[in-house]
Amino acid sequence: MTHLELATDDGHTLRQSTVETSPLAIRGLTVSYGEKPAVFSVDATFRDGSMTAIIGPNGAGKSTLLKAALGVIRPLSGTVTVYGKPLAGQRQRIAYVPQRASVDWDFPTRVVDVVLMGLYRQLGLLGRAGATHRAKALACLERVGMADFANRQIGQLSGGQQQRVFLARALAQDADLYLLDEPFAGVDAATEKAIIDVLKTLKAEGKTVVAVHHDLATVAEYFDRVFLINVRKVAEGPVGEAFNAENLQKAYGGRLAMAQIENLQLTAG
Partner 1 sequence: MSGAEFVPLSLTPILIGIFTAVACALPGNFLVLRKQALIGDAISHVVLPGIVVAFLVTGTVAAWPMMVGAAVAAVVAVVLIEAIRRLGRIETGAAMGVVFTSMFAGGVLLLERSDTSTVHLDVEHALMGNLESLIWLDADGWHSLLDPVALAGLPPELPRIFVTMVAVAVLIWVFWRPLKISTFDEGFAQGVGIRTGALGMALVIVSAVAAVAAFDAVGSIIVIAMFICPPAAARLMTNRLEMQVAWSVVFAVISAVLGYVFAGYGPLWFGGVNAVSAAGMIATTSGVILLVTVLFGPCRSRTGAPSEG
Which positions lie near partner 1, rule CB under 8 A? 67, 70-72, 88, 91, 94, 96, 98, 100-110, 113-114, 117, 120-121, 123, 125-126, 153-156, 158-163, 169, 173, 179, 186-188, 191
Name which of 31 and 251 has its Cβ closer to partner 1. Answer: 31
Total residues belonging to the chain: 269
| C-alpha–C-alpha distance, residues 119 and 139, integer Å | 13
Smallest gap from Cβ 98 to partner 1, in A, equals 4
Name which of 163 and 208 has its Cβ closer to partner 1. Answer: 163
Buried b (16+ CB within 10 A) or exposed e, 29-52: bbbeeeeebbbbebebbbbbbbbb
How many CB atoms lie under 10 A from the CB of residue 89? 10
3-state SS, 125-194, equals CCCCCCHHHHHHHHHHHHHCCCHHHCCCEHHHCCHHHHHHHHHHHHHHCCCCEEEEECCCCCCCHHHHHH
Smallest gap from Cβ 105 to partner 1, in A, equals 4
Name which of 117 and 258 has its Cβ closer to partner 1. Answer: 117
Name which of 158 and 263 has its Cβ closer to partner 1. Answer: 158
| C-alpha–C-alpha distance, residues 250 and 265, integer Å | 18
Name which of 78 and 105 has its Cβ closer to partner 1. Answer: 105
Of the candidates 68, 89, 71, 18, the residue with the CA atom closest to the CA atom of residue 48 = 18
Name which of 1 and 189 has its Cβ closer to partner 1. Answer: 189
Smallest gap from Cβ 90 to partner 1, in A, equals 10
Smallest gap from Cβ 16 to partner 1, in A, equals 28
Smallest gap from Cβ 186 to partner 1, in A, equals 5
